[in-house]
Every structure is written in structure tokens, then in C-alpha cells.
Amino acid sequence: MWPSTSPAARGLAGWVGLLFPPHCLICGQEVDGLSAVCADCFGDIPRWAAVCGICGVGVAPGLDLCEACAVEARPYLWARSLGPYEGVLRALVLLVKYGGERAVARLLGRAMAELVVGEVAVVAWVPPDPVRLKRRGFHGAELLGREVARALGLPARALLRKVRPSPEQVGRPREERVRAMHGLFVATRKGHGETVLLVDDVLTTGATAAEGVRALQEGGFGAVAVLTCARTVGQD
């Protein structure tokens, strides 16, 4: 659903637009109101017609599970993503991840919130690397997590902390990711069996999500569901 704006926001956007006409961050065309992305580009986000009921990856219509989930248990309750990490969705994720675009995080967070299945008690996010956080001044997963929590009317909490630096995971095979992630997170507070919604930008091999689930459950929290903007295909 394309988010609407209040009459006051539309009025303000009209005055601002006279001096600084807003443009879509994807295609560059002028947009109405305070939107960062035009409705056409937002509508071009790639989607799956059907998804695996456990990991959320696209499957052929009529199937309930992907091949991997049919034979391998997952540590999380379920995982969902808006779609495959490509095209417009990839561009939007990068705007949040490396550009800290809060307006884009707001759009994505609201759309992600619509994917939530069942009830959760609290929203958390995969923790940042302290060095990268200091360099960038923002953390994309937190921006998304807070927007998801706001859309769902749930508390947003930094429930995980990274205990040591880790190398960039992009492009690394699954086995290396798993080894690099082991013991990387700890819970920042004691849980009491609450169901947690863990938010991140992209789900690739699932190693990061699995480490987050482990740390949360060792900290006393209950089942953990995973929600991401996008999902890479063929690397799990």
C-alpha cells in the first residue's frame, strides 16, 4: 500500500515544492508531497507470487515449502522479505544501508510490517558493527526496525550487541559466514519468553539471522521471527 500523508504534511510539501520540487530517488521524476520515491517505482518492487511458509523465499505456486526447508530445520519461527534482492528493491535497500535515507526506510518499514504473521511482542534488529556505525553515523537495520515497530504499534528495542568486529560478509560462502558469525552477538537484557521480531536489510545465507536467534534465546527470549527488506536467491 502506498502510504498517504496528512493534510498538514501535504500543505507543507506544497510550499516546499515551490522552492525545491521533490524528485524520486530512483527515477528522478518529480513526486507529489514528501515522498522519497514515486508510486511507479515503488510499485516496481519485485515480488514473489508464492513464498515458502518457513523461510519466505519464492516458490512455485501451490507449494508450501522450498526444497531446503523441506529437509532442513530453521532456527527462526519464520522469515519474510518484500522480495528478491534485485532491481528497484536492491536500489532502495542500498539507499538505506549506505545512505541512511530515513524517508526510504519509512516506506520500506511500512511495507515490511504488512508481512508479519501472527503475534510478536517486541521488535529488535541485527546490531551494527561499532566501527561502521561510528563511520556512517546511522545503522540501516535499526532505521528499518524502528519504522516496522512504529507501523505495528510495538516497542522497538536494541536487544542485541555485537561483541567483536567482523569482516564484511558480502560475497562470502555460507560456511565462512557461519564460522565468522558464531558467538558474535549477545543479548543486551534478560528476556522472559517474549516473541521477538528481528529486522535486517537483506537475508542471504541465514547465518546472521541464526546467530541473532541463538543470542536472543540464550538471553531468555522466546521464538524469533525474521523480517528483512530483501532476500538473495540461491545462496542459502
User: Phi then psi for 13, rounded to 5 degrees?
Assistant: -60, -35
Task: Give the pLDDT band of residue 170 (cuts 50, 70, 90).
Answer: low
* pLDDT tens by residue, 11-66: 444 444 455 678 899 999 988 777 889 999 999 999 999 999 999 999 999 999 99
pLDDT in tens, 98-129: 999 999 999 999 999 999 999 999 999 999 98
Beta bridge partners of 202: 230
Domains of the chain as residue ranges with CATH = 1-44 (no CATH), 49-231 (3.40.50.2020)
Identify the three-state secondary structure at position 30.
strand
Question: Phi, psi (5° rounding) for residue 230?
Answer: -140, 165
- When pLDDT is cut at 50, 70 and 90, the band that residue 174 belongs to is low
Report how far Cα 213 is from the mean position of its chain's Cα atoms: 15
217-231 average pLDDT score: 98
C-alpha cell at 181: 558469525
User: Angle at which helices 207-218 and 174-181 pack, to 10 degrees?
Assistant: 30
* DSSP collapsed to 3 states, 71-139: HCCCCCCCEEEEEECCHHHHHHHHHHHHHCCHHHHHHHHHHHHCCCCCCCCEEEECCCCHHHHHHHCCC
- Among candidates 55, 115, 117, 58, which has minimal Cα distance to 85? 58
From 206, 202, 199, select the one nearest 177 (Cα to Cα): 206
